[in-house]
Chains A and B, each alone.
Chain A
Amino acid sequence: MTTTPAPVRTRTGDRAAPAAQPRRSRRRSTDGSQWIAWAFVTPLVIYLLVFYAFPLYRNIELSLHDYTPRAFVRGNAEFVGFQNYVDIFGSSSFAKAATNTALFTIGSIAFQYAAGLALAVFFRANFKLSAVLRGLFLIPWLLPMIVSASAWAWMFNSDNGIINAALRVVGLDPVNWLTSPDVALTSVIIANIWLGIPFNLVILYSGLQNIPADYYEAASLDGANAWQQFWRLTFPLLKPVSAITLLLGLIYTLKVVDLIWIMTAGGPGDTSTTFATWSYREAFGAGNPDFSPAAAVGNLLIVVALVFGLIYLQMQRKLEKQ
């Protein structure tokens, strides 16, 4: 029974090919010379060292010094050890950013996933225009973030936004979506859910394709209705795909900066600030860049992302063994 979908397999890179393939390629060892192979990989290795490892190293270094913009240019910042990290944990923004990050990721992902799954099950049925409309659902995912974010900002506009206009039509009071401390976070979560639905739809849909149709035929013969088929069949069989969709969503939602920044800039106050936007604000958001705390927040974010990333890898390994 193969419930492992395409994304799961291909994400693992070389383990992606059917099990026999890598073994065959190993025998195929061209001229037995490793150095030719390495010659082809060298650009990538240099690339990774120069454009990943070095910026990350610089980032760690930034977080351990006290860099002012002037020291930044001169390169003579004072080494302060973990002081920046201590400052961050003691900062008044910390608790707010932590809560917001948790609410933003969990809120976004729960609704994206639920909507994505419902749509995937719905579009699984064969009906006219099914493929075309499913294709159209991809649009929000392909639009540049600045486009979607500014569209939502305008729709959420207190005075001239369509959303408040709709509320007025049904007799409700308008809401200051982006400028009220109570709802700013909710507003960016709503926009982010909208952005994430296509991704969930596509992956879950491809997971559904791998559930054999005979199962459903057998279930129908046994008299199971659509609801029972979903809970007893679809949902359990889709679990591995679901888990990976949720974890990937988590990793990518943690990193979101642009959407929040464009819509609310993390405000008002800290009310829609997450770790990612906090880091961005410290470094680039204000007139006076504060690189050292920004780097410390950023490194904290890497650690969180890596924890979930390792869970993801662990899960993949488990799935492959099955």
Chain B
Amino acid sequence: MTGTRSLWKTLIALALTAVMLFPVYWIVNVSLTKTSNLRRSPPSLLPLDPTLEGYVAAFSQQLPQLGTSLLVGLGTVLLTLAVAAPASYAMATLNLKGRQGLSFILLVAQMVPAVVMAMGFYAIYLKLGMLNSLWGLILADSTIAVPFAVLLLQAFMSGIPTELLQAAKLDGSGVWRTFVWIILPLSRNSLLTVSLFAFLWAWSDFIFASTLNRSGDLIPITLGIYKFIGNNTTQWNAIMATAVIASIPAAILLVVAQRYVAAGVTAGAVKD
């Protein structure tokens, strides 16, 4: 009896998942539809007559933007780790005075709306001539990830057994050596979680891209899609093909690192 009940639950769950993922399916379906069939009414529920013309258009026009986003994402990860990892170490294990205050500031920092940050950055970048630069975008994007990274890493590092650190000290290992050779390797999983999130946020960022990098040659893929929609309201298959390609990092993340994602959501509970 429990067997049939379990089967029913599986079927209901499948149905719910199908409903929830319908928009995702629709992106894929539209991306494979011929331009001539896009205006068909009602639209075809299945890609019966699939075409890759959308993908050809996407690749021919959006490849540089994908590259830009890749660079921005990787740069954001490196910057985030470089700032967050040492600070988390000090806050978690080095008896830092003022640690409470710093944690509070980081929590509050997460509440500042990106649109407000964007205006401040715009004002500063305009003066410094940093608009439309990769570095400018990397710096701005990292502000989404840094507070989250410090809080997450710190929580993890304060769980590292004291005995390990004391043993390292007895062996004559200095603070820096302990950090590099003990703390960092032990924190590998949480560093990975932080990196994945930092990359994904930078990759998906629209607000900073559309304010700080709007008219340069090196625009990221989110802005690429946005401009594509603006210029090209008829080629939805190409727009959706680009959307599929832009979603690949998220898809990889979900397949390769699902448990880190769940850990990250529950640990940081941040989505901007």
User: Quick one: which of B105, B200, B265 has the most chain A CB within 10 A?
Assistant: B265
In the bound assembly, the distance between CA atoms of A280 and B109 in angstroms comes to: 19
Shortest Cβ distance from residue B171 to the other chain A in the assembled complex, whole angstroms: 14
Which chain B residues border A221 with CB–CB below 8 Å? none
Partner of A5, one of B112, B166, B261, B266: B266
Given known A-B contacts A36-B94, A47-B146, A283 and B211 have beta carbons under 8 A apart? yes
Label chain B's interface by main secondary structure: helix
- Does A6 contact B267, Cβ atoms closer than 8 Å? yes
Which chain A residues border B13 with CB–CB below 8 Å? 122-123, 127, 129-130, 133
Which chain A residues border B6 with CB–CB below 8 Å? 126-128
Query: Which among B46-54, B55-63, B96-104 touches the partner chain?
Result: B96-104
- Does A151 contact B27, Cβ atoms closer than 8 Å? yes
- Does A152 contact B87, Cβ atoms closer than 8 Å? no
Which chain A residues border B186 with CB–CB below 8 Å? none
Given known A-B contacts A7-B267, A17-B155, A37-B95, A145 and B113 have beta carbons under 8 A apart? no
- Does A127 contact B113, Cβ atoms closer than 8 Å? no
**B184 interface residue, CB < 8 Å from A?**
no
**A107 interface residue, CB < 8 Å from B?**
no
Which chain B residues border A29 with CB–CB below 8 Å? 94-95
Partner of B114, one of A24, A126, A255: A255
Which chain A residues border B254 with CB–CB below 8 Å? 135, 138-139, 142
Which chain B residues border A14 with CB–CB below 8 Å? 91-92, 99-100, 103, 154-155, 158
In the bound assembly, the distance between CA atoms of A165 and B29 in angstroms comes to: 15
- Does B247 contact A55, Cβ atoms closer than 8 Å? no
- Does B267 contact A10, Cβ atoms closer than 8 Å? yes
Query: Which among A92-100, A227-235, A246-254 touches the partner chain?
Result: A246-254
Shortest Cβ distance from residue B82 to the other chain A in the assembled complex, whole angstroms: 7
**A16 interface residue, CB < 8 Å from B?**
yes
- Does B96 contact A140, Cβ atoms closer than 8 Å? no
**A257 interface residue, CB < 8 Å from B?**
yes
In the bound assembly, the distance between CA atoms of A255 and B112 in angstroms comes to: 8
Which chain A residues border B100 with CB–CB below 8 Å? 14
**Interface size class for chain B?**
35 or more
**Interface size class for chain A?**
35 or more
In the bound assembly, the distance between CA atoms of A165 and B105 in angstroms comes to: 50
Partner of B91, one of A41, A73, A146: A41
**A176 interface residue, CB < 8 Å from B?**
no
Query: Which among A82-90, A181-189, A300-308 touches the partner chain?
Result: A300-308
- Does A199 contact B211, Cβ atoms closer than 8 Å? no
Within 247-292 of A, Cβ neighbours of B (below 8 Å) are at: 248, 251-252, 254-255, 257-258, 261-262, 276, 279-280, 283-284, 291
Which chain A residues border B23 with CB–CB below 8 Å? 140, 148, 151-152, 155, 194
**B204 interface residue, CB < 8 Å from A?**
yes
In the bound assembly, the distance between CA atoms of A280 and B106 in angstroms comes to: 24
- Does A252 contact B90, Cβ atoms closer than 8 Å? no
Which chain B residues border A244 with CB–CB below 8 Å? 269
**B231 interface residue, CB < 8 Å from A?**
no
The 3 closest A-B pairs by CB, nearest first: A55-B120, A40-B90, A144-B204
20 A-B interface contacts by CB (under 8 A): A10-B152, A10-B267, A13-B103, A14-B92, A26-B95, A38-B96, A41-B87, A44-B83, A54-B120, A59-B119, A129-B13, A140-B21, A142-B200, A143-B24, A144-B204, A144-B221, A144-B250, A160-B41, A162-B43, A165-B43
Known: A56-B116, A62-B119, A130-B13. 13 other contacts (CB 8 A): A7-B267, A13-B91, A13-B150, A14-B103, A40-B94, A43-B86, A54-B124, A142-B261, A202-B266, A276-B113, A291-B119, A295-B119, A298-B116
